[in-house]
Amino acid sequence: MERISVAQARKEESIGKEVQLQGWVRTRRDSKGGFSFLELNDGTCQGNVQILAEATLPNYETDVKKLGTGASVTVTGLVKQSPAKGQATEVQAKNVTVHGWADAETYPIQKKGATMEFLRTVSHLRPRTNTFGAVARVRNCASRSIHDFFQERDFLYLHTPIITASDCEGAGELFKVTTFDLDKVPRQGPQIDFHSDFFSKPAFLTVSGQLQAEIFACALGKVYTFGPTFRAENSNTPRHLAEFWMVEPEMAFYDLNDNMTLAEAFIKRIIQDALARCPDDMKFFQERIDKEVLSRLEHILKSEFLRLPYTEAIEVLLQSGEQFEFPVKWGIDLQTEHERYLTEKKFQRPVILFDYPRAIKPFYMRVNDDGKTVRAMDVLVPGVGEIIGGSQREERLDVLEQNMKDKGMSLEPYQWYLDLRRFGTVPHSGFGLGLERVLLFLTGMANIRDVIPFPRTPGNAEF
Ligand code: 4AD
Ligand code: MG
C-alpha cells in the first residue's frame, strides 16, 4: 500500500489506488444513513480530502464518531471518484487509527473566525489553520524562487556571518553579543573593558551581510547571501521585525542601472512562481485576505518599473496636494505614506527611486558628481512601500575614506573593507530584499508578524 499526501489523494490519477493517509481532522459530519465524513488535512495543500467512514468499521462507534477538529489519524482505504461537487476524489476508509485526540472544549483554534492577534498567542498551533498553512507554503515557494533565480544566473550562494563587529547600515540598531555577566561588566573608568569578553571587542548580531558579500563579489563576481538579519529598531509597525530574512545579491562590474534591471527581474520571478506553483493558496488569499491581491500581482508582471530620481520624487510629492503627516522637503528620508502615494496613487506601479541625498544614506554608497547625492536605490511596491534597498558601492578609496570621515566613522576597524579599494578595486553593486516584505506583497496579509513562523518584535520572543 502506498503512503500518499492529501495533495496527491485529491488528484484524479489517484483514483483506484489503495492508500494510506495521515493528518489532522478538520471536521466530522455524521450522516443519517449510518456513516460519517471526515475532512482530512496534512498541510501539503490548501484543500482537504474527504474520508468516507462507514458504520461497518469496527471502531466506528468507539473512535470515528468521537473524532473532532484537531485529532490526528492514519486512514487506509480506496481512493474513489467523488460524487460530490467541488472535489475530484474521496477516500473510502478500510481502517481509521487515532493517534491523538483533541478536546473540542479546550482546543484553542477550534472556532472559525479567530483574529490574527489571537492566533499570534498560539503560534505553536496556528500553522494548522488555512491562512498560516498557505503563508508557510508561499514562503517556501518564494525561498525556492530566490535560489532558482540566482543559481540559474550563475550566482554563488554565500553564507555570511550572523555575529559581526561592524554596523553595516551605521544606524546603530544593533543587538549586542556578549558572554559578560551583566551584573559584573568589567570597566576601565567609565568605559566597558571588552578585552575579557568572548570576542575581545564589541560584537553584534548582523544587520546585513552586505560588507562580507562585497568581499566575495570582489573575488568571485556574482554572489548572494540569504539568511536571518537582526535590527533592534524599536518600531512597532506592521512592516518591521527585529529578526527577518534578507536576500542580498552583490555583483562585481554592475552599475546602478544593472542593479535595477536585476531587481525588477527578480521581483517578477518571485511573483510568477507563486502564481504558477501555489495557485490554490493564491486563490485563498484573493478570496479570504485581500480581494485585490491577484489583480495587483498580475498588473505588476505586465508593468515596467518606473525609475525616478529622488529629487523628482520630492517635486511630485510637493505638487501632489496631499496632506502628509510628515512634511516633504528635499533631504528628508521618505516615510511609508510618501512611498505609498508614489507607487499606489500617482504611478500605480512599482517605482525605483534613486540618487538619494548623501546625508541620509550609509557610508558605502557611491557619491555622485554633484557631491550631494549617492547612487542609492529603493524599490517601492503598491500595498507595502519599500521592499528593496540597494546601491552602487563607492569603489574609489579616497572618496570612500572622505565619506566615512564626514560621517564621523573611525576608519581603523574598516581597513579590510578599504583594502578591497586598495587592491584591484572594481565598480560593483547590490541590494537587499526583505523576504517578509515580499510575502506581505504576495499574500495581501496586513501584518508582517503573520508572514514569519515565529515573529520577533519588541516585547515578543516566545516560542
Ligand atoms: O534598506 P536596507 O536597510 O538595506 C540594507 O540592509 C543593505 N545593506 C542591503 C544591500 O544593499 N545589500 O534593508 C533592505 C531590505 C528593506 O528594503 C526591507 O525589505 C527589509 O530589508 N527590511 C526589513 N524587513 C523587516 N523588518 C525590518 N526591520 C526591516 N528592515 C529592513
Ligand atoms: Mg532601506
CA distances 83 to 20, 49, 86, 88, 293, Å, are 21, 13, 10, 8, 33
- Contact 393 CB / ligand 1 (< 6 Å): no
Q: Whose CA is nearest to atom 1 of ligand 1?
A: 389
Residues 64 and 45: their CA atoms lie apart, in Å, by 24
- Contact 8 CB / ligand 1 (< 6 Å): no
Residues 390 and 388: their CA atoms lie apart, in Å, by 7
Q: Cα of 247 to ligand 1 centre, how many Å?
A: 9
95 Cβ contact list (under 8 Å, min separation 6): 57, 74, 75, 76, 77
* 2-100 shares its CATH topology with 127-156+246-450: no
Task: Indicate the class that CATH gives domain 127-156+246-450.
Answer: alpha beta
Note the ligand closest to the C-alpha atom of 210: 1
End-to-end CA gap in the chain: 38
Q: Cα of 69 to ligand 2 centre, how many Å?
A: 43
Residue with cell 565619506: 403
- Contact 427 CB / ligand 1 (< 6 Å): no
Note the ligand closest to the C-alpha atom of 249: 1
- Contact 246 CB / ligand 1 (< 6 Å): yes
Closest-lying ligand 1 atom to the alpha carbon of residue 448: 25
CA dihedral 236, 432, 379, 167 (to 10 degrees): 60
User: Whose CA is closest to 351, among 322, 299, 313, 325?
Assistant: 313
Residue with cell 511596491: 381
Residues 97 and 91: their CA atoms lie apart, in Å, by 15
Residues 182 and 14: their CA atoms lie apart, in Å, by 61
Note the ligand closest to the C-alpha atom of 240: 1
Q: Cα of 170 to ligand 2 centre, how many Å?
A: 12
Q: Cα of 82 to ligand 2 centre, how many Å?
A: 51
- Contact 388 CB / ligand 1 (< 6 Å): yes
Which residue among 246, 256, 447 is best mutated to probe the pocket of ligand 1, counting the most ligand atoms within 8 A of its Cβ?
Answer: 246
Q: Cα of 432 to ligand 1 centre, how many Å?
A: 6
Q: Strands 203-205 and 385-392, how do they pair?
A: unpaired
Residues 211 and 226: their CA atoms lie apart, in Å, by 14
- Contact 270 CB / ligand 1 (< 6 Å): no
Q: Whose CA is nearest to atom 2 of ligand 1?
A: 389
Which residue among 168, 175, 437, 449 is best mutated to probe the pocket of ligand 1, counting the most ligand atoms within 8 A of its Cβ?
Answer: 437
**What does the longest C-alpha to C-alpha distance in the chain come to?**
85
CATH classification code of 2-100: 2.40.50.140
pTM: 0.96
- Contact 231 CB / ligand 1 (< 6 Å): yes
Strand partners, 246: 227, 434
User: Whose CA is closest to 246, among 431, 383, 417?
Assistant: 431
Report pLDDT for 42. 98
Residues 383 and 376: their CA atoms lie apart, in Å, by 22
Tens-digit pLDDT string for the chain (463 aa): 899 999 999 999 999 999 999 999 999 999 988 899 999 999 999 999 999 999 999 999 999 999 999 999 999 999 999 988 889 999 999 999 999 999 989 999 987 778 999 999 999 999 999 999 999 999 999 999 999 999 999 999 999 999 999 888 888 799 999 999 999 999 999 999 999 999 999 999 999 999 999 999 999 999 999 999 999 987 889 999 999 999 999 999 999 999 999 999 999 999 999 999 999 999 999 999 999 999 999 999 999 999 999 999 999 999 999 999 999 999 999 999 999 999 999 999 999 999 999 999 999 999 999 999 999 999 999 999 999 999 999 999 999 999 999 999 999 999 999 999 999 999 999 999 999 999 999 999 999 999 999 999 999 998 8
Closest-lying ligand 1 atom to the alpha carbon of residue 242: 28
Q: Which long-range contacts (CB under 8 A, 24 or more apart) does 143-150 make?
A: 143/226, 143/435, 144/273, 145/269, 145/270, 145/273, 145/274, 146/224, 146/226, 146/247, 146/270, 146/435, 147/226, 148/269, 148/273, 149/265, 149/266, 149/269, 149/270, 150/222, 150/224, 150/249
- Contact 385 CB / ligand 1 (< 6 Å): no
Q: Whose CA is nearest to atom 20 of ligand 1?
A: 434
Q: Whose CA is nearest to atom 18 of ligand 1?
A: 434
Q: Whose CA is nearest to atom 21 of ligand 1?
A: 434
Interval 10-36: pLDDT, tens: 999 999 999 999 999 999 999 988 899
- Ranges of each domain in the chain: 2-100, 127-156+246-450
CA dihedral 337, 391, 451, 454 (to 10 degrees): -120
- Contact 240 CB / ligand 1 (< 6 Å): yes
